[in-house]
Amino acid sequence: MGQPEHARPLDGLVVLDLTVALAGPYATLILGGLGATVIKVENPHRGGDQARGNAPFVGPGGLGLGRTGDEDVSVAMLERGRNKLSVTLDLKQEHGRRLFGELVQQADVVVENFAAGTADRLGIGHTFCSVLNERIVYTAISGFGAARPGRKGMDTIFQALSGLMTVSGNEGDPPVRSGIPFGDMTGPLFAVIGTLAALHQRARTGRGQFVDVSLVGALTSMVATEPFDKLEELGVPTRTGNTVPRLAPFGIFATNDGSIAICAPTDEMAHGVLRVVGLSVEDERFATRDARVANWVELHDVIGRWTAAGTTRSCLAALDEVGAPAAEVRSTHEAVRDPDRLAQGDTAQLVHPTLGPVDDLYGSGLPIRFSAAGAGFDRPPPGLGEHNDLVLGGLLGRTPDELAALRAERVI
């Protein structure tokens, strides 16, 4: 029999989330969407996660670039704070560290994205946690990995160092920064994979471990999946703009009302394209893959003239009829509101914690579906320290008087 519909794969797993900004919170967002209880530990004196102060904001007056009232919430937090609890702890105070240690004893996972070495200097790093709980899985996400303590970086730095900036654009262009922060987004995916692998190993050994993910390393690893430098040596240019000559016909082509992507690297697919654009499949210039690659400029020129004479809809209909993979090039506005993506849970309407669903504001969903479990985001982001009483009182047993004393001492 399958699990109940409401069950989630990580139900019962407790994650202590020390992360801020994007890379770390994205990792814990995924864990929360998979069912883990994510306890976000924030600094009570600096406004918590810096993302809480990132524009734009949404409140009773709508969307704006500045806060106009106490109910205004950063869109970044509406996105990354979902399915999390928030507690505040001053980890620079001994009492704050003791409380954190008690939470570690109740937890399965700690995730942080400080600069490497910072957690150890605060006295809350892997050594501290593993002494208190030998089963803890401690995942550190940093720019350059645990072996490079103190070195800081941002997504653009990782894109620059990984080589990513030199694989997009046309030959001779300056470096091109990707608008999607791939450095800050790929590292968290590897962090989640590493965390789940360590938990799987713990089920056999009874012991947790340290999981170390560097953002520049994760992105460079992905760039390395194609041997760009060796292809250059063989005369295949790396930077080919919106086309991939070695897979021709393969690229982006303008229509008279937009653009479409055509990807037809196999003979069967390519022959369908040839017929649609008025070329013979017997034409020796294009009949085989090697011939198409050798004559890609001419082939793409013919395709470009054909698409330019038609509408996006008419071109796609003709290509679909012959089984050639093609799609319209959408704006981000169109893409995230696609009814199929929303129905599948790949994207989702964002929800304000007090005002409810925000009209025409969408964020990421969880693009994983299970046959016997649920997944996704069903709780809005918490206010700063919203769950102090629930977590410190309920989980750690602090009385109302003790919680009041902690507030008076500015520990929480």
* Separation of CA 195 from chain center: 16
> How is residue 172 annotated by DSSP?
T
Please count the residues of the chain: 412
Distance between CA atoms of residues 53 and 344, nearest Å: 31
> How is residue 22 annotated by DSSP?
T
Give the amino acid at 291.
Answer: A
The residues annotated as belonging to the active site are 184
Distance between CA atoms of residues 255 and 258, nearest Å: 5
**CA nearest neighbour of 124 among 152, 147, 93:** 93
**CA nearest neighbour of 278 among 322, 248, 312:** 322
Three-state DSSP string of 354-395 = CCEEEEEEEEECCCCCCCCCCCCCCCCCCCCCCCHHHHHHHH
**25 neighbors 126 (Cβ within 8 angstroms):** no
> How is residue 243 annotated by DSSP?
B
Distance between CA atoms of residues 107 and 101, nearest Å: 10
> How is residue 109 annotated by DSSP?
E
First to last CA, the chain: 45
Distance between CA atoms of residues 411 and 402, nearest Å: 11
Sheet strand arrangement including 210-214? 84-88, 37-42, 14-17, 109-112, 137-142, 210-214
Ramachandran class of 262: left when φ > 0, alpha when ψ lies in -120 to 50, beta otherwise: beta
